[in-house]
């Protein structure tokens, strides 16, 4: 039953005009920004351009994925409540946890497809232009990226239990913004700034823990260890936030659609 | 026997912006298996709230609701239930068949049986051509019908329907009435909220009347109709002079055309008046029962409570 709901959610996302516009928009922005860099690398014969392009490309992918995951989380059941379809699901012999897990699994499928498309395009570019080997740690990096999206997805789901989707998304971005504040304060010399910076870093959803894809292509094997650190960090946050979202959803009462 | 549905001292209070509104005030009644029960009340009476508590969409403030002996908070309680919400809506990209397959599988029914049931259902609801049409292209009446089909898919034993004929044309309404009769013969339980009292009078075994969260009446339709009899009106012409003396205990009025109207307070008095009129050469023009309709009983109950209907 969970998979049936998940596949329905995926089909619903596939038929969403907003998602289509978002995917086309993101694709175009990424392509038109990265293509010149690739071309420069090819023309100049500079092989290090591969790593630079990877950094830029995955930077875009991460940002667009983050926003998509956040919006998927924030509208996880809110959209169904708004259009009146949630009641029909709830009248079936399903627990609320099954319903939420099914819808979340549908979103996870969508994020996997997104990540799959990002990687496929990247690998294609490498095969065509750079032809250097893909490190073994690359799959680990992808797991970290997926979990990074899941943190934002779970945060969106959690905050949307308390606020409307737009405010929920704003709240999550505000939370993530603490990471930037942490960086700023930590870079300042006064002691109180560093203390404040550490405080922000502790509270931030997006600590500076992600392992850069650029390092992935240039670093030695021992430096892969931070990837495990990143995976653990995002996994724990995802579980914590999603569990809280499930608890709140389970305690929530719903209203029918108004005529 | 375990009741199909049971409300036990069910109360529900909404809290909004610091103020609380009591939507249900300790209502208790049970719906027996195989019965058709009409759930009546003006808008805002608490009908939808009670149905939503049954479906675990809302939680009771106190008391509880049961489906086949299982608490409504238990998802298993909905295994044999088909539910149609007041305003039915679903994702427009699905075709009728795909939509019904989805909900058939979510009911945990055998997929082959569900697949075989779909054409039969759509034909009965007079929309066989809608099977491969996307829901977004349906009219309001068709959307309501597909919602009803969704409640019926998988052949559930209990149907909880919130205004099932809303937005349907008279032909479709007649079809749905026919459907309820069919469901009764199959031993299904139907708990329906509607504003069409004449339909309920025709098809329901019992009626629950609710207003402002209070259960005003829960009884057999026949008992409610009998309780609402407020006498009879006999109109006759002719008759000899002694007839007036014989009917001295009744209220009488004669119009310009020589038609006399006699009001009888009860059945015995009516039988006596009819006998006397015929014995004394009078011709009966008409005989009419006063009250005795579900609508008048419904209005009377609301009026007795000092509450106006809408």
pLDDT 10s digits, B164-185: 888 788 888 888 888 888 888 8
User: Could you tell me if residue B177 is inside a domain?
Assistant: no
pLDDT 10s digits, B278-301: 888 888 888 877 766 777 777 777
Test the A interface: residue of B99, B105, B106 with most A CBs within 10 Å? B106
User: Could you tell me if residue B27 is inside a domain?
Assistant: yes
Is the model's pLDDT at A95 over the cut of 70?
Answer: yes
Mean pLDDT score, A19-29? 83
Q: What is the ipTM of this complex?
A: 0.74
- Residues for chain B: how many in total? 310
**B187 & B75 share domain:** yes
User: Could you tell me if residue B17 is inside a domain?
Assistant: yes
Sheet containing strand B229-238, strands side by side: B251-254, B260-264, B229-238, B282-291
The single-letter DSSP state of residue A126 is I
B81 contacts in A (CB within 8 Å)?
Answer: 91, 93
User: Could you tell me if residue A256 is inside a domain?
Assistant: no
Is the model's pLDDT at A46 over the cut of 70?
Answer: no
Smallest Cβ distance to A84: which of B81, B87, B94? Answer: B87
B103 contacts in A (CB within 8 Å)?
Answer: 88, 92
**Subunit contact A11:B93, Cβ cutoff 8 A:** yes
> How near does any CA of chain B get to the CA of A84, in Å?
6
pLDDT score recorded for residue A99: 92
User: Could you tell me if residue B299 is inside a domain?
Assistant: no
DSSP string, B244-301: HHHTTTSEEEE-TTS-EEEEESSHHHHHHHHHHHHHTTEEEEEEEEEE-SHHHHHHHH
B159 contacts in A (CB within 8 Å)?
Answer: none
Query: Which is it for strands B251-254 and B260-264: parallel, antiparallel or unpaired?
Result: antiparallel
pLDDT 10s digits, B244-283: 788 877 777 888 777 888 888 777 788 888 888 888 888 8
Mean pLDDT score, A161-172? 85
Is the model's pLDDT at B67 over the cut of 90?
Answer: yes
Structurally, chain A folds into a number of domains equal to 1
User: Could you tell me if residue B309 is inside a domain?
Assistant: no
pLDDT score recorded for residue B18: 75
Sequence-separated (6 or more) residues with CB below 8 Å from residue A41: A47, A49, A50, A52, A53, A129, A130
Smallest Cβ distance to B93: which of A15, A96, A253? Answer: A15
- Residue B20 · residue B11 · CB < 8 Å: no
Give the residue numbers spanning the domain of B274: 229-291
**B71 & B129 share domain:** no
If contacts are CB pairs under 8 Å, which of residues 67-96 in chain A contact chain B? 83-85, 87-96
Q: If you measure CA to CA, which chain B residue comes closest to A9?
A: B91
pLDDT 10s digits, B19-66: 888 888 889 999 999 899 999 888 888 889 999 999 999 999 999 999
pLDDT 10s digits, B198-244: 778 778 889 998 888 888 888 888 777 776 667 788 888 888 878 87
Rounded distance, CA A59 to CA A176, Å? 16
**B68 & B167 share domain:** yes
Is the model's pLDDT at A124 over the cut of 80?
Answer: no
The single-letter DSSP state of residue A190 is S
Rounded distance, CA B130 to CA A234, Å? 47
Kindly state whether A3 is in contact with chain B, defined as any CB-CB distance less than 8 angstroms.
no
pLDDT score recorded for residue B66: 92
**B73 & B140 share domain:** no
**Subunit contact A93:B93, Cβ cutoff 8 A:** no
> How near does any CA of chain A get to the CA of B235, in Å?
47
Q: If you measure CA to CA, which chain B residue comes closest to A15?
A: B93
Is the model's pLDDT at A103 over the cut of 90?
Answer: yes
CATH number at residue B33: 3.40.50.300
- Residue A156 · residue A168 · CB < 8 Å: yes
User: Could you tell me if residue A201 is inside a domain?
Assistant: yes
Give the residue numbers spanning the domain of A144: 2-250
Identify any residues that bridge with A27 across adjacent strands, giving them in sequence order. Answer: none
Which residue do the tokens 């797991």 mark? A143
Task: Identify which of A62, A41, A49 has the alpha carbon closest to the alpha carbon of residue A212.
Answer: A62
Q: pTM for the complete prediction?
A: 0.78
CATH number at residue B271: 3.30.70.600
**B4 & B54 share domain:** yes
**B105 & B34 share domain:** no
Token representation of residue B188: 């299904």
User: Could you tell me if residue A185 is inside a domain?
Assistant: yes
pLDDT 10s digits, A210-259: 555 555 555 555 456 666 777 887 888 889 999 999 999 988 888 755 44
Residue B214 three-state SS: strand
Token representation of residue A133: 């080997």
CA–chain centroid gap for B141, Å, is 19
**B67 & B196 share domain:** yes
User: Could you tell me if residue B300 is inside a domain?
Assistant: no
Confidence of residue B80 (pLDDT cuts 50, 70, 90): confident
A249 contacts in B (CB within 8 Å)?
Answer: none
**B200 & B236 share domain:** no
Structurally, chain B folds into a number of domains equal to 3
**B76 & B94 share domain:** no
Would you state the torsion angle of the CA atoms of residues B109, B113, B115, B118, taken in this order, to the nearest 10 degrees?
-90
Rounded distance, CA A61 to CA A115, Å? 8
Q: If you measure CA to CA, which chain B residue comes closest to A253?
A: B58
B58 contacts in A (CB within 8 Å)?
Answer: 253-254
Chain B residues interacting with chain A (CB cutoff of 8 angstroms): 48, 52, 55-59, 75-79, 81-83, 85-91, 93-94, 102-103, 105-108, 147, 150, 160
């Amino acid at each position: 039953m969970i998979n049936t709901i998940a596949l329905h959610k995926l089909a619903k996302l596939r038929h969403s005009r907003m998602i289509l516009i978002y995917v086309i928009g993101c694709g175009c922005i990424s392509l038109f920004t990265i293509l010149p860099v690739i071309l420069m690398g090819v023309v100049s014969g500079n092989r290090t351009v591969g790593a630079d392009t990877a950094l830029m490309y995955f930077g875009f992918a991460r940002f667009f994925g983050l926003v998509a995951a956040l919006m998927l989380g924030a509208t996880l059941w809110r959209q169904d409540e708004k259009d009146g379809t949630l009641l029909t699901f709830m009248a079936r012999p399903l627990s609320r946890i099954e319903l939420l897990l099914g819808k979340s699994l549908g979103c996870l499928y969508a994020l996997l497809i997104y990540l799959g498309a990002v990687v496929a395009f990247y690998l294609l570019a490498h095969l065509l232009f750079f032809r250097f080997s893909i490190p073994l740690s690359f799959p680990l990096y992808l797991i970290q990226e997926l979990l990074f999206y899941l943190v934002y997805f779970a945060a969106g789901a959690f905050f949307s239990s308390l606020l409307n989707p737009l405010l929920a998304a704003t709240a999550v971005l505000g939370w993530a913004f603490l990471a930037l504040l942490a960086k700023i304060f930590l870079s300042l010399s006064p002691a109180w700034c560093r203390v404040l910076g550490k405080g922000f870093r502790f509270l931030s959803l997006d600590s500076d823990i992600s392992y850069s894809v650029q390092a992935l292509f240039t670093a030695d094997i021992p430096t892969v260890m931070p990837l495990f650190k990143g995976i653990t960090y995002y996994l724990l946050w995802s579980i914590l936030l999603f569990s809280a979202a499930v608890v709140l959803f389970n305690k929530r009462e719903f209203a029918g659609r108004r005529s | 026997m375990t009741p199909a549905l049971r409300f036990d001292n069910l109360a529900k209070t909404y809290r909004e912006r610091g103020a609380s509104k009591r939507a249900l005030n300790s209502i208790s009644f049970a719906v027996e298996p195989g019965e058709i029960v009409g759930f009546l009340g003006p808008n805002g009476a608490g009908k939808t709230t009670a149905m939503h508590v049954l479906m675990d969409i809302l939680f009771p403030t106190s008391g509880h609701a049961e489906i086949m002996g299982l608490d409504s908070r238990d998802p298993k309680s909905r295994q044999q239930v088909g539910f149609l919400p007041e305003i039915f809506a679903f994702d427009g990209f699905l075709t009728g068949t795909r939509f019904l397959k989805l909900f058939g599988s979510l009911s945990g029914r055998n997929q082959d049986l569900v697949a075989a049931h779909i054409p039969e259902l759509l034909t009965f609801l007079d929309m066989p051509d809608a099977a491969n049409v996307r829901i977004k292209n349906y009219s309001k009446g068709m959307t309501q019908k597909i919602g009803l089909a969704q409640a019926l898919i998988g052949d559930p034993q209990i149907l909880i329907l919130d205004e099932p004929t809303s937005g349907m044309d008279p032909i479709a309404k007649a079809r749905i009435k026919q459907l309820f009769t069919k469901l009764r013969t199959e031993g299904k339980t139907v708990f329906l909220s509607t504003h069409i009292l004449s339909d309920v009078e025709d098809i329901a075994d019992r009626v629950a009347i609710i207003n402002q969260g209070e259960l005003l009446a829960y009884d057999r339709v026949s008992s409610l109709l009998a309780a609402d009899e407020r006498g009879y009106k006999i109109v006759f012409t002719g008759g000899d002079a002694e007839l007036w003396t014989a009917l001295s205990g009744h209220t009488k009025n004669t119009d310009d055309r020589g038609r006399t109207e006699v009001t009888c307070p009860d059945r015995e008095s009516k039988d006596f008046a009819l006998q006397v009129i015929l014995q004394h050469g009078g011709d009966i023009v008409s005989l009419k029962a006063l009250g005795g309709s579900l609508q008048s009983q419904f209005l009377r109950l609301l009026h007795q409570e000092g509450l106006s209907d809408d």
